[in-house]
Structure 1
């Protein structure tokens, strides 16, 4: 890891010029039953996508995958995914704070229907891809869960679609739960250039939910290059933050309110890889961050 690569400053405090386009408030991109709908037109990039679908009891939603692969991940409630001649039953969960969920993979160029008898909310994490993989079920017991960090940097990471865990062409997706008062996504890190063996270029979406009424948190993104991404956002349930480039972190949960975020990533690399570069000015002062 190069200690000087891309570093333009040591601070993680308030940005000099906040890029409000990176902060996506709840409902600001909604279309139809989707409260979040982030694609290339909204984000100004090529690969990563995210929709959050809300279905009432008995409602059905149709999905045209197009040039993207998709994972249907229950946030609350369960559903049935019909695709490629298969019926995939997802038990789901009561909420994102209740534990891991099962999920379904929908390949590119497929059509799918998502139906929910009792209703619920469902994340559709997507990425532009080339390979057409088979539709599959992801069982909840097979999701690796790790406790990362120590002290006030402790958080839980659910690697349901991480590299080496679940096969996708370009899509990488994980969930993180940060206890109230803790920091995660720390030390700040980046993945905005291709350096074989050290860093992979990935577009990233953070989608947030907060536990309890009036919960909130903060997300920081700051430049790794002149004119790069710069935002300090107060985030609430249903908000998202886009990371097209730059150092990102910390993600801070307010005391008394556990914070959940879903990370959706994809990029142009020939190999699906999640290689990150930590900010050298903060790495040494963050023991046990792994």
Structure 2
């Protein structure tokens, strides 16, 4: 069985910093993606060297100050809950930097990693620059905040997006994949999903599977879980009574998002 579902670890680094997830590429059998989720108490600090990775720091909740040793971005973050459904602030930092994250209020941040070749300019990605869109129809509706889309020039490989799926709806649907380096028809992008639920006691279902079913896992995903998508299709179903949120990290050899819909289900897009 593939190890795709990752539960929160709640590991204290100090009195002020708790690791919720620490999933580096080698830990999850990926080549292009790592992630870390941290809870930092007000006044607490976290430090790290980016080494050979580019990094997007997303202020999921609360306010933080982020520094790369030269540039400092103070009091970033816009919400107390992701379910306020407003965009938040993020910071892009390339490889070979020493970073500091200081919590101005109690905060949860996610650090999104991809291996990098270049040293690039550090950039604030303010909430106001997130493009916002609604996708799908009928019971296939979702609300999207594009933090670091493939059109954003800050990063080499990283793509980052937030998606909201209301109760009773499907997301990442009809089933699609992006696991072949076959442009212009399809790009090769690994992917991870960081999930939250409202109310927190809820769950969603996510299936990850390939055409030949050599990979075929269906998971009950709970609040703060992470799902790894190394390849294949990866739809999400949100039950009645609960709303779903996930933050996607995607990365691959080329920063292009070109997906392929499973032909058996593509008819859903154009139904009347």
The answer to whether the superposition gives a TM-score over 0.5 is yes
Deviations 1:184-215 (A, max 9, x none): 10011111111120111111101100011411
More strand by share: 2
Hey, what's the Cα distance between the residues in 2 that align with 1:188 and 1:48?
22
Hey, what's the Cα distance between the residues in 2 that align with 1:135 and 1:205?
23
Residue among 27, 32, 38 paired with 2:9: 27
How many residue pairs end up in the alignment? 265
Classify the secondary structure of the residue corresponding to 1:259: strand
Residue among 243, 255, 261 paired with 2:240: 255
Hey, what's the Cα distance between the residues in 1 that align with 2:146 and 2:12?
29
TM norm structure 2? 0.93
Residue 185 of structure 2 aligns with which residue? 198
Structure 1 residues without counterparts, runs of 5 or longer: 1-18
Deviations 1:21-43 (A, max 9, x none): 11112228x57322111111211
Q: Is the contact between residue 159 and residue 165 of structure 1 (CA under 8 Å) also seen in structure 2?
A: no
Alignment of 1:147-166 (within 5 A): 147-166=134-153
Residue among 44, 53, 58 paired with 2:38: 53
Residue among 228, 238, 253 paired with 1:268: 253
Cα 1:221/1:31, change in 2 over 3 Å: farther
Residue 94 of structure 2 aligns with which residue? 107
Q: CA RMSD in A?
A: 1.6
Hey, what's the Cα distance between the residues in 2 that align with 1:111 and 1:224?
42
Classify the secondary structure of the residue corresponding to 1:97: helix
Task: Say if 2:265 is the partner of 1:279.
Answer: no
TM norm structure 1? 0.87
Residue 16 of structure 1 aligns with which residue? none
Task: Say if 2:10 is the partner of 1:36.
Answer: no
Hey, what's the Cα distance between the residues in 2 that align with 1:24 and 1:135?
30
Q: Is the contact between residue 150 and residue 287 of structure 1 (CA under 8 Å) also seen in structure 2?
A: no
Residue 80 of structure 2 aligns with which residue? 94
Q: Is the contact between residue 84 and residue 135 of structure 1 (CA under 8 Å) also seen in structure 2?
A: no
Classify the secondary structure of the residue corresponding to 1:160: strand
